Amino acid sequence: MVKAKQVCGVDPVPRYIMSDQSAPNYELIIEELHNQGNSQVGSSYFYIKKGDDWCSLCRIVYGGGKVFFHEVVDHDKHGISEDDIDHAIMHGTALTKLPDHYFISPHIEMKLHTLISYK
């Protein structure tokens, strides 16, 4: 495995690990996200992972039968508030095969489409 280099005295953060340090079950996540329309924005699939006292917006870039990239997204930089994420969890739909995984809401999808279209 390739090691990340230290830049300006700061160790890089492994963004492919979830907040609770578990490895995502990519096959189940992709299967469910692929079957649900509003989870794909551009070439990325988005979902929300919920822990006991945290929630993370996650992005997967998938193609050719494999995951190319997975990250925990800094939702503030995408104009998505904690309230948006909480609302998506409270009023949204959970991924049926994975506990504590949720589809993004239409509101979050709209914000992501606007941002990605703008870039």
Considering the domain boundaries, does residue 80 fall inside one? yes
Chain segment 16-65, per-residue pLDDT in tens: 444 445 566 777 887 888 777 677 888 888 999 888 888 899 988 877 77
Q: Is residue 53 part of a domain?
A: yes
Residue 15 lies in a domain: no
Q: Domain of 102? A: 26-118
**pLDDT, tens digit, 9 for 90 and up, residues 93-117:** 787 778 888 999 999 999 998 877 6
Has residue 10 been placed in a domain? no
The Cα-based distances of 105 to 5, 48, 57, 70, 108 in angstroms read 36, 10, 11, 20, 5
Task: List C-alpha distances in Å: 39 to 43, 50, 87.
Answer: 10, 16, 16
Residue 18 lies in a domain: no
Domain count, the chain: 1
